[in-house]
Amino acid sequence: MDANPRGRTLFGISVTPYAEQYGQIVEQVAAAERGGLDLVGIQDHPYQRRFLDTFALIGDLLARTKTMRFFPDVASLPMRPPTMMAKTAASLDLMSGGRFELGIGGGAFWDAIAGMGGVVRERGERLPALEEALVIMRAALDVGPHRRVARGPGPYYPVPGYPPGPAPAHRVEIWVGAMAPGALRSIGRLADGWVPGGGASRVADFPALIAQIDAAALAAGRDPQEIRRIVNISGSITSGERGEGSLDGPPQLWIDTLAQWADELGIDGFIFWPPDSGTDQIDRFAAEVVPAVRERLVSRG
C-alpha cells in the first residue's frame, strides 16, 4: 500500500508547448510513457505567440498515448469560460478513456490577457469569479441521471441553465493553482487538488499553506486527505556533482528530497520540468528516481 492516504503517488513531467518544438514534445511524452510515468502537465498561456494551444496539444498527445494522464498546468480561467472548459474537459476525458484532469488558475499576466481580448478581473473580483467557475464546472462534469442541468447565478459567470454533457469517462478532478489565502480556502471547500504557484521553490511555505486548505476542508465537512497536492519540480539530475538549485544533483538527492516531501507534507504528485527539450533527463527521472521513491514510500506505509 502506498504511504500516501490519497492513493498511489503520481509522477509526471511538464512539456513546454513551443510550436517549433512540437516534435521534441512528442518524443518527451513518449519517453515518459515508456518510463512508466503517470502524468503530463502543460502550462496554458494562449497569449504567448510561440505556444501551441494547450488543450489542442493535450488532445493530440492523448491520441498518441495509452496510459498517461494529462492536465493543463494550469488553464487560464480569464481566457476560457467555465462552461466551455468543462465541455472540453469532458470531451477529452471521454475520448481518452478517462485520462484527463482539469487544472485551472484564476489568471496571470493581465496585460497579455487584455491584449488578446480576455476578461480582466480586478483584484477583488478574482476570488469570487474563481469560486463561481469551480461550482459551474463541477456541476457540468458531474452530469448524470441525477444532474441534468448546470446553472450559475453570476455575477461573473451567469449561466441560466443548460444540459451539460457528454459525461466524462471518469470523475474528472479539478486542481487549482493558487497561493493566496482566499483561494486556498476555496480549494479546501470546492476543489480536488492544489498546484502551488512557484512549485517547489516555495516548499518552506507549504506547511502553513496546507494548513489553510485543511482547515477550510474540515470546516466544510470534507476530509482534507481527499485533496491532492501536486508540485512542479525542476532541476538537473547529475552523475554526482551538486548544482545551484535545491534539486540539482545526483539521483539520491532527488530520492531523499521527494520522499521527504511526500512523507512530511503529504505531496502526492510530482511534475518534473526537465531542463531541456531532450529525453535524457526524463529517462533518468523515470529510471533512477521514481522507482526508488515509490519503493521507499511503500516500505514506510
Q: Which amino acid is at 167?
A: A
Share of the chain above pLDDT 70, in %: 97
Instruction: Give the model confidence (pLDDT) of 147-194 as tens digits.
Output: 689 999 999 999 999 999 999 999 999 999 999 999 999 999 999 999
Cell reading at 196: 502551488
Asked whether the CA dihedral 203, 205, 207, 212 is positive or negative, the reply is negative
How does residue 89 score in pLDDT terms, banded at 50, 70 and 90?
very high
Query: What pLDDT score was predicted for residue 1?
Result: 29
Q: Enumerate residues 6+ apart whose C-beta is below 8 A from 117.
A: none
End-to-end CA distance of the chain: 6
Is pLDDT of 259 > 60? Answer: yes
Tell me the pLDDT band of 231, cut-offs 50, 70 and 90. very high
pLDDT at 213 over 90: yes
Q: Distance between CA 246 and CA 178 in Å, rounded?
A: 22
6: pLDDT strictly greater than 60: no
Name every residue whose Cβ is closer than 8 Å to that of residue 276 and which is 6 or more positions away in sequence: none
d(CA 146, CA 166): 14
Q: Is residue 279 part of a domain?
A: yes
Cell 476525458, residue located: 93
In a domain, 1, yes or no: no
pLDDT tens figures, 50-72: 999 999 999 999 999 999 999 99
Whether the pLDDT of residue 291 is over 70: the answer is: yes
Residue 101 located in a structural domain: yes
Tens digits of residue pLDDT in 104-155: 999 999 999 999 999 999 999 999 999 999 999 999 999 877 768 999 999 9
Is residue 66 in a domain? yes
Task: Choose between 8 and 17: higher pLDDT.
Answer: 17
Average pLDDT over residues 251-256: 98
pLDDT value at position 7? 63
The structural domain count of the chain equals: 1
Residue 71 lies in a domain: yes
Give residue 3's pLDDT band: very low, low, confident or very high (50, 70, 90). Answer: very low
Residue 219 structural domain: 10-300
What is the rounded average pLDDT of the residues 227-238? 98
The stretch 219-245 carries a mean pLDDT of 96
C-alpha cell at 118: 480576455
Q: Indicate the range of 4-8, 80-84, 102-106, 293-297 predicted with least confidence.
A: 4-8
* Separation between Cα atoms, residue 134 and residue 155, nearest integer Å: 14
* pLDDT in the model for residue 301: 63
Residue 3 lies in a domain: no
2 lies in a domain? Answer: no
Amino acid letter, 55: F
pLDDT of 298 > 50? The answer is yes
CA distances from 112 to 76, 109, 194 (A): 12, 6, 25
CATH of residue 277: 3.20.20.30
Is 225 a member of any domain? yes
What is the pLDDT averaged over residues 25-29? 98
